[in-house]
Amino acid sequence: MTTYTDLIFEISRPGRIGCSLPERDVDAVNLSEKLPAHLIRREAPELPEVSELQLVRHYTSLSNKNHGVDNGFYPLGSCTMKYNPKINEDVAKLDGFGRIHPYQPEATVQGALELLYELQEDLAVITGMDAVTLQPSAGAQGEWAGLMMVKAYHKQRGEKRTKVLVPDSAHGTNPASATVAGFRTVTIPSNKHGLVDVEELKKHVDDDTAALMLTNPNTLGLFEKDIVEIARVIHEAGGLLYYDGANANAILGKTTPGEMGFDIVHLNLHKTFTTPHGGGGPGAGPVGVKEKLIPFLPVPRVEKRNGRFLLNREEPLSIGRVKGYYGNFGILVRAYTYIRTMGPDGLRQVSESAVLHANYLRKKLEPYFISPYEQVSKHEFVLSGSKQKKLGVRTLDIAKRLLDFGYHPPTIYFPLNVEECLMIEPTETESKETLDAFADVMIRIAREVEEDPETVLNAPHTTVIGRLDEVKAARKPVVRYERETVQS
Amino acid sequence: MTSTFRYLPDTDQDRKEMLSFLNVSSIDELFSDMPASIRLDGELAIPDALPEPALWKKMKNMASKNVELPLFLGAGTYDHYIPSVVGHMISRSEFYTAYTPYQPEISQGELQAIFEFQTMVCELTGMDVANSSMYDGFTALAEAASLAVGHTKRGKVVVSRAVHPESRAILQTVAAGPGYVAEEAALSKDITDLDALGKQVDGDTAAVIVQYPNFFGSIEDLQEVKRITKAHGALLIVSANPLALGLLEAPGRLGADIVVGDMQPLGIPMAFGGPHCGYFAVTKPLMRKVPGRIVGQTTDENGNRGFVLTLQAREQHIRREKAMSNICSNQALNALASAVCMAALGKTGLREMAVLNLEKADYACKLLQQKGFSVLNQSPFFNEFVVKLPKPVAGVQDALIEAGFIGGFDLGLDYGDPNGMLVAVTEQRTKEEIEAFIHALEGIVQ
């Protein structure tokens, strides 16, 4: 770890440059003749002026202050922080994929369209859907696009349904997407087993129900065993069933959302299909639908006719465009490469190992932390830090103590229905040795909570910076560099 | 016997030990909670796994089916040189294999890089606050419209027809959710018709949206648009090409309330349209209504400067159905790419590159006019302009490809002008290429 703390603006000196520009081979233009004076920039933007090596040192130093999957275990629940294969990166960087323009004539991008078409087909099989759009850039955008299709579907049938049902354990994006799509949300409580309370659900299902959004396995890592009954209840009332695919890593090749009765599915390619999370993105959130919803899919659609691939922009019932061009192509290339690496046998093993690892780690930790649910886990599990809280140590403190051992902590304080929640997703790409070592550290921390709580409460001890004052950051926001701010 | 995969470390022995620890006899038992009626019988019907060497060959072959030629095509995505250093920095896997910096103590690198990115966006746009990035420039524009509607509690936005057609299409899709109206403002040749706009904007207008330079490359007079929005208490939303801001007055200085756009021209590959990187900047009064992640500066218990995600009370994971936007992720890695590119160019390099773009396009335009082509643009333009061909663009493209070029954007589809070709000329095009392209075009249309 480094002690370098400068901002790039602080190492800037007038007169330095970090790149070389092409030579001017055409006549110079007198800007003041070409443009009205008030549209010519008066003060240049204060971009940093640094040499190329200074630039490299700066960002290398920053990277040394960052923890990624390549650095160590990253059991961040619901985010599926699995290994990001290197060949995916190399393939996405091929000039034939990276240097093509989205508006080139179709005849000049047949390879790109072929890839998109085949990926649509593969994802349709994997989800049990009839057609897939690759446009949405992320899970949340996929949710919104899916709900806009729900809206269009009901409208086409002459109905205006206003209600979207969401379990209390759902990701925050579910209700937020429902609002953005113009629906109102009704929250369905979970039962004591951590599953959707079917009797409670029935009370809320009526002819105003547009859809139920469900994650299965849910965010507690539990498979909604009553899914067939839930699907029946929703469908009988004329509603649709939306599958949040954030947890699809548990079901590959074992079942599909289609088999479960879902009508719409989004996948997070940056979770299940190994595309890198990039420090927050870019990701991709393709959406699959059953036949009855195909007319409403976004345009353009990638189609194959007479052995040629083309873009279909004309679909009268389509919800329209949801994202520029054809989606996050570079991410789609990576996911395609991964699916071809694994094949059907490999993908099934992915989910089997992910589930095996989660259950193994859970059982190792159960004697030390509260494990609120009995049902077998799928790819992730939750623990409650409520026992530790009674001793004055909160889940946040446990998370911070994990940093001292080189681990990224689990997701904390989510789902909201588990007190002092720790949500742990080990993924299939971690070795048994890593799981054992992590378990040993968790057990050690549990002991520290009893014997030496100060060590946990004052953690982290080994990071480049201590706990940060988040209240101050929000009360007096400093969201950009200004010379005065730094000198004070 | 299961086959082995290089991303899956479990050995038969590992599996045996874990299963025995769990007191179960097979992995299948761990799936016993899935009702039999929904379990798959056979394997997924997708192609079999390929070994890495065969896969590499297959992917290279697929990529080679795509044609790369000198581009005179832009229309929102541009062929600019990306300094080598950009790719190297974003390939540091500490950056690309990390997620959203929820744990600031081990994410200071990402957080600081984003803080610096936010600062650069503020500098470029002349705005007070920028977020950590958006999906792309098109969706950022729609989010800006929704922000304006929510903020002003008015029912419609007015968007110029000189705004990118995809931005307008996405805006229509987005507006259909909450149900506000996105009305289009007419054109006067190559720019927004300000007289008509003045009549269209009223007390129910939340915002006017223009593009700078606009879709035809022409530079809208933001000062005049602001005069109209100000008279009616509407917000001014500007979608700006960040490279052009190297030489054009910052929208913030001309009265913009929200500035959005796409960082693609600065360090991000075209990649068949994505991933690119939207940016989103506002004036201070709108700070707490911005969608997406924002990084803020603070201190640790020892007073050391550090960075955290901040103002999270706006966001979906806290507010759920009351959130102002459903956005969760961003395009952090591409924001990083554009930050590295902006730092490589620096204050003077950005301006020089912007000027070069304008000069090359100016050269191409003048040469076309000399050869007898007519040009639509009557206002000054940046690196793109519309040439009117004597025959439909659609029939010209193939011949241009034969001649070794990818021609401009066909205005037939979106503007009902089948003979209009939107030509982009970036710093990547040499004088020789420009001349050869125009020579080829002359031959084709004769």
Pairing of strands A209-215, A240-245: parallel
Closest Cα of chain B to A228: distance in Å? 8
User: Over the stretch A58-79, which tens digit does the pLDDT of each residue have?
Assistant: 999 999 999 999 999 999 999 9
Cα B272 to Cα A92, A293, B134, B276: the distances in Å are: 11, 27, 18, 10
- Computed from CA positions of residues A255, A261, A263, A265, in that sequence, does the dihedral angle turn out positive or negative? negative
Residue entry with tokens 């029912």: B155
Whether the CB of A63 is below 8 Å from some CB of chain B: the reply is yes
For residue B131, the SS3 value is coil
Q: Which token pair is A370?
A: 């509260």
Question: What is d(CA B148, CA A438) in angstroms, rounded to the nearest whole number?
Answer: 48
**Predicted confidence band of residue B314 (pLDDT cuts 50, 70, 90):** confident
Among A residues 277-306, those touching chain B with beta carbons less than 8 Å apart:
277-284, 298
B296 neighbors A478 (Cβ within 8 angstroms): yes
Two tokens at A308? 């040629």
How are strands ordered across the β-sheet holding A411-412?
A381-384, A421-424, A411-412
pLDDT tier, A488 (very low <50, low <70, confident <90, very high otherwise): very low
- Under an 8 A CB cutoff, do A254 and B34 touch? yes
Contact A150, A240 (CB under 8 A): yes
pLDDT in tens, B335-344: 999 999 999 9
B15, B16, B34, best to mutate vs chain A, most A CBs in 10 Å: B34
B410 has which bridge partners?
Answer: B421
A348 DSSP assignment:
H
CB contact under 8 A, A139 and B328: yes
Closest CA to B279 of B252, B249, B313, B304: B252
User: What is the CB neighbour count within 10 angstroms for residue A411?
Assistant: 21
The pLDDT tens digits for A295-346 are 999 999 999 999 999 999 989 999 999 999 999 999 999 999 999 999 999 9
The pLDDT of residue B34:
97
The answer to whether the Cβ–Cβ distance between A45 and B112 falls below 8 Å is: no
Check if A238 contacts B (Cβ < 8 Å).
Answer: no
Q: How far is A359 from chain B (nearest CA, A)?
A: 8
Q: Containing H/E element for A170?
A: none
Cα B76 from Cα B244, distance rounded (Å): 12
Minimal Cβ distance to B320: which of A93, A176, A460:
A176
> What pLDDT is stored for residue A217 in this prediction?
98
CA dist., res. A165 & res. A186, Å (int): 5
Distances (CA, A) of B342 to A451, B61, B95, B119, B245: 52, 34, 18, 11, 12
Alpha-carbon gap, residue A403 to A405, rounded angstroms:
5
Distance CA A475, CA B1 (A): 59
Question: Which residues 169-198 in chain A show a CB within 8 A of chain B?
Answer: 171-173, 175-182, 184-185
Which residue of chain B comes nearest to A37, CA vs CA?
A: B249
Q: Residue A344: which of B43, B75, B325 has the nearest Cβ?
A: B43
Contacts of B310 in chain A (CB under 8 A): 470, 473-474, 477, 479
Using CA atoms, how far apart are residues A364 and A360, in angstroms rounded to an integer?
6
CA distance A420 to A396: 8
Is 3.40.640.10 the CATH classification of the domain at A87-341? yes
Min Cα–Cα distance to chain A from B122, Å: 8
> What is the three-class DSSP state of A449?
helix
Q: State whether the Cα torsion A470-A476-A478-A483 is positive or negative.
A: negative
Contacts of residue B425 in chain A, CB cutoff 8 Å? Answer: none
Rounded to whole angstroms, how far apart are CA atoms A98 and B275?
10
Verify whether the Cβ–Cβ distance B318 to A172 is below 8 Å.
yes
pLDDT beyond 50 at B355: yes
Q: Go through chain A and tell me how many residues it has.
A: 488
Structural domain boundaries of chain A?
8-63, 87-341, 349-472
How confident is the model over A375-396, as a mean pLDDT? 98
Residues 75 to 134 of A: which have CB under 8 A from any B CB?
Answer: 76, 79, 81-85, 87, 89-105, 107-112, 114-115, 122, 125-126
The string of pLDDT tens digits covering residues B198-256 is 999 999 999 999 999 999 999 999 999 999 999 999 999 999 999 999 999 999 999 99
Assess whether pLDDT exceeds 80 at residue A484: no
CB A252 within 8 A of CB A352: no
Query: Does A206 contact B at CB distance below 8 Å?
Result: no
Residue A460: is the preceding peptide bond cis (ω within 30°)?
yes
Instruction: Return the CA Rg of chain B.
Output: 25
Instruction: Tell me the average pLDDT of chain B.
Output: 96
Euclidean distance between CA atoms A314 and B430, whole angstroms? 38
Half-sphere exposure (Cβ direction) of A378: Cα atoms closer than 13 Å: 26
For an interface test with B, give the residue of A32, A66, A260 to mutate (most B CBs within 10 A). A66
Domain boundaries of chain B, sorted by first residue = 12-64, 84-340, 347-445
Report the relative pairing of strands B187-188 and B191-192 from DSSP bridges: antiparallel
Q: How far apart are CA A17 and CA A51, in angstroms?
A: 5
Query: Is the separation of the CB atoms in A378 and A223 below 8 Å?
Result: yes
Substitution target from A7, A147, A180, A262 for chain B, most B beta carbons within 10 A: A180
Instruction: Label residue B76 by pLDDT band (50, 70, 90).
Output: very high
CA neighbor of B428 nearest in space, from B364, B337, B378? B364
The residues with which B107 forms a beta bridge, in sequence order, are A66
pLDDT band at A1 (very low <50, low <70, confident <90, very high): very low
pLDDT of residue B2: 55
* Closest alpha carbon to A202 in A194, A193, A212: A212
Residue B159, classed as helix, strand or coil, is: strand
Find the closest chain A residue to B77 by CA distance: A101
Mean pLDDT, residues B407-429: 97
Please report residues of B whose CB lies closer than 8 A to that of A185: 320-321
Chain B residues closer than 8 Å to A7 by CB: 112, 115-116
Tokens in use for A160?
Answer: 């205006």
CA distance B136 to B279: 7
SS (H, E, C) A14-51: CCCCCCCCCCCCCCCCCHHHHCCHHHECCCCCCCCCCC
A-chain residues within 8 Å CB-CB of B349?
17-19, 21
User: B5 and A281 in contact by Cβ < 8 A?
Assistant: no
CA dist B200 and B377 (Å) reads 24
* Nearest neighbour of B22 by CB, restricted to A347, A359, A428: A359
Residue A251 in contact with residue A274, Cβ under 8 Å?
no
Inter-CA distances, B293 with B199, B296, B334, Å: 37, 10, 14
Average pLDDT, chain A: 96
Q: How far is CA B22 from the centre of its chain?
A: 49
Q: B102 contacts in A (CB within 8 Å)? A: 76, 411
Would you report the helix, strand and coil content of chain A in percent, each value rounded to 5?
40, 15, 45
Closest A-chain CA to B15: A356
Tokens at B304, concatenated: 């050391």
Is pLDDT of A2 > 50? no
**pLDDT at residue A487, as a whole number:** 43
Yes or no, beta carbons of A414 and B311 under 8 Å apart: no
Question: How many angstroms from the chain centroid is the CA of residue B197?
Answer: 27
CB-based contact, A244 to chain B, within 8 Å: no
3-class SS at B87?
Answer: helix
Tens-digit pLDDT profile for residues B5-49: 999 999 999 999 999 999 999 999 999 999 999 999 999 999 999
What is the token pair recorded at B72?
Answer: 């005179």
**Type of residue numbered A59:** Y
* Rounded mean pLDDT, A28-57: 97
Residue from A456, A434, A460 nearest A364 by CA: A434
**Chain B interface disruption, residue of A262, A339, A412, A480, most B CBs within 10 A:** A480
Predicted-complex ipTM score: 0.97
Residues of B in contact with A141 (CB under 8 A): 135, 139, 326-327
Determine which of A2, A9, A13, A19 to mutate to test the interface with B (most B C-beta atoms within 10 Å): A19
- Nearest by CB to B38, from A260, A331, A345: name it: A260
Residues 6+ apart with CB under 8 A from A142: A136, A245, A266, A267, A268, A285, A286, A287
Q: Which CATH class is domain B347-445?
A: alpha beta
Percent of chain B with pLDDT strictly greater than 90: 94
Cα diameter, chain B: 84
State phi, psi for A20 to the nearest 5 degrees.
-120, 140
Residue indicated by tokens 């129910």 = B204
Distance from C-alpha of A450 to C-alpha of A462, rounded to nearest angstrom: 21
Are A395 and A456 in contact by the 8 Å Cβ rule? The answer is no
Q: Which residue has the tokens 């796409």?
A: B262
Q: Is the sign of the CA dihedral A269, A270, A271, A272 positive or negative? A: positive
CA distance A157 to B362: 54
Of B194, B135, B227, B336, the residue nearest A60 (C-alpha): B336
CA distance A202 to chain B (A): 21
**Cα dihedral A89→A95→A96→A98 (10° resolution):** 60
Q: Which of B291, B269, B272, B270 shows the shortest CA–CA distance to B282?
A: B291
CB nearest to A140's CB, from B33, B328, B431: B328
Q: Do B3 and A184 touch (CB under 8 A)?
A: no
Chain centroid to Cα A309, Å, comes to: 29
How far apart, in Å, are the Cα atoms of A151 and each of A148, A157, B143? 5, 10, 20
- B360 contacts A324? CB cut-off 8 A: no
When pLDDT is averaged across residues A410-436 and rounded to a whole number, the result is 96
CATH of segment(s) B84-340: 3.40.640.10
Q: Which of A35, A103, A299 to mutate against chain B (most B CBs within 10 Å)?
A: A103
- The second-level CATH assignment, the architecture, of A349-472 is Alpha-Beta Complex (3.90)
Q: Which residues contact B443 (CB under 8 A, 6 or more apart)?
A: B403
Asked whether the beta carbons of B218 and A36 are under 8 A apart, the reply is: no
